[in-house]
Amino acid sequence: MPRFAANLSMMFQEMPFLDRFAAARAAGFTAVEFLFPYDFPAAEIAKRLQDNGLQQVLFNAPPGDWAQGERGTACLPGRQEEFRDSIKKALDYAAALSCPRLHVMAGLAPAGVARDTLTGTYVANLAWAAEQAAPAGVKPVIEPINHRDIPGLFLNTMDQGAAIIAAVGPDRLGLQFDLYHCQVTEGDIVKRVEKHLPIIAHMQVADVPGRNEPGTGEVNWPFVFSRIDALGFRGWIGCEYRPAGETVAGLGWFAPYRA
């Protein structure tokens, strides 16, 4: 059966962030993910996880200046020292939260910089991050993100992600396969899951086009989830969607998969 993790950055926004852990557990989730933990002490988040019997399965490394529109620094020449500091900070949190996956955002491709230069920087940074993460039992992952939600992001397609992972090593770097982003950019999501399954370390889900909960858009999710299960994927699927209304009211799709 597919295993789903509540994304606490996007779900349960009816309440403060630290209260969302208990809400996720009450709704039947046994695992959570979120974008960034850095506004809160790691010990406080760890306590919420422990108190509610939850597993932390993913969060993002610091992305640069998010408020100013930055979406990662991994591909950006001249930002290597900042990138390394961000990974060190993220790994400190991962250790405190016992989190096995760390999403490393690629960054926006700067105008006037050759793609080969960006690719070389990206691969070198990811290889360094993987070397730091491995002793802690953490596997970095990269996520192709659609051109509509984040125009100009360096990494857009699953094939691009697979090529980067091949360069770094699939034992050291995994693919974060977001079904929503894939459907927007490429479509044919089941066939793409089948193709890339050996390197997929984490999945995420939202319906298309509105990025709301499964069942609100164009995708046949019962078929997709049953196929993912049949393929033998045993990782987590993060619910990175914006509830169309109140979070719990929109969890009808989740009923067959509750713990």
Active site residue ranges: 143, 240
CA-wise closest residue to 138 among 177, 102, 113: 102
Gap between the Cα atoms of 40 and 146, Å rounded: 29
Burial 212-225 (b: 16+ CB within 10 A, else e): bbbebbebebeebb
Q: Where are the alpha helices (DSSP H) in the chain?
A: 20-26, 42-51, 80-97, 115-133, 158-168, 179-185, 189-196, 221-231
CA angle 27, 237, 128 (to 5 degrees): 130
Which are the contacts of 40, defined by CB distance < 8 A and separation ≥ 6? 17, 18
| Distance, C-alpha 37 to centroid of its chain | 13
